[in-house]
Amino acid sequence: MLILSMVKNIGPAYIKKNLGRISQEDSCETIVREFKPEEMDNLDDYSKVADQIIDDCQTHDIKMISITDNAYPTQLAEIGDPPCVLFMKGDESLLKNVIAIIGTRHSSELGNRIAERVGAYFSDRYSICNGLVEGVDEHSIYNNGRIIKNVVGIISGGLIYQETCSQNHIRVINDVLTAGGLIISEFYPRQKEDKFSGSKASRIQAGLSHGLILVQSKIDGGSKYTLAKFAKLGRPIGVIHFPSSDEYKTELFGANRLIIERKVNGIADFIGVKKASSLNVGQILALSCKEDYEKLINEISPQKLLFQ
Of the listed ranges 72-76, 83-87, 303-307, the least confidently predicted one is 303-307
Backbone angles phi, psi at 154, to 5 degrees: -105, 110
User: How distant, in Å, are the alpha carbons of 17, 24, 76, 82, 193 from that of 20?
Assistant: 8, 7, 17, 15, 32
CA-closest candidate to residue 69, choices 88, 86, 93, 94: 86
**Confidence band (pLDDT; 50, 70, 90) for 25?**
confident
pLDDT > 70: percent of the chain = 98
Domains of the chain: 2-63 (no CATH), 92-306 (3.40.50.450)
Contacts for 174-178: CB closer than 8 Å, 24+ residues apart? 175/147, 176/90, 176/132, 176/141, 176/147, 176/151, 177/89, 177/90, 178/147
User: What pLDDT score was predicted for residue 304?
Assistant: 58
pLDDT per position as a tens digit, 111-170? 999 999 999 999 999 999 999 999 999 999 998 889 999 999 999 999 999 999 999 999
Task: Give the torsion sign (CA, 50, 131, 259, 235).
Answer: positive
Cα(233)–Cα(97) distance, integer angstroms: 16
Checking if the pLDDT of 307 tops 60, the result is no
pTM (predicted TM-score):
0.94
Checking if the pLDDT of 99 tops 80, the result is yes
Q: Mean per-residue pLDDT for 226-234?
A: 96
Hey, which residues does 128 pair with through a beta bridge? 99, 151
Checking if the pLDDT of 106 tops 70, the result is yes
CA-closest candidate to residue 105, choices 122, 130, 126: 130
Cα of first residue to Cα of last residue in the chain, in angstroms, is 25
**Confidence band (pLDDT; 50, 70, 90) for 77?**
very high
Higher pLDDT, 260 or 33: 260
Cα(273)–Cα(47) distance, integer angstroms: 40
User: What pLDDT score was predicted for residue 23?
Assistant: 83
**Confidence band (pLDDT; 50, 70, 90) for 223?**
very high
Hey, which residues does 80 pair with through a beta bridge? none
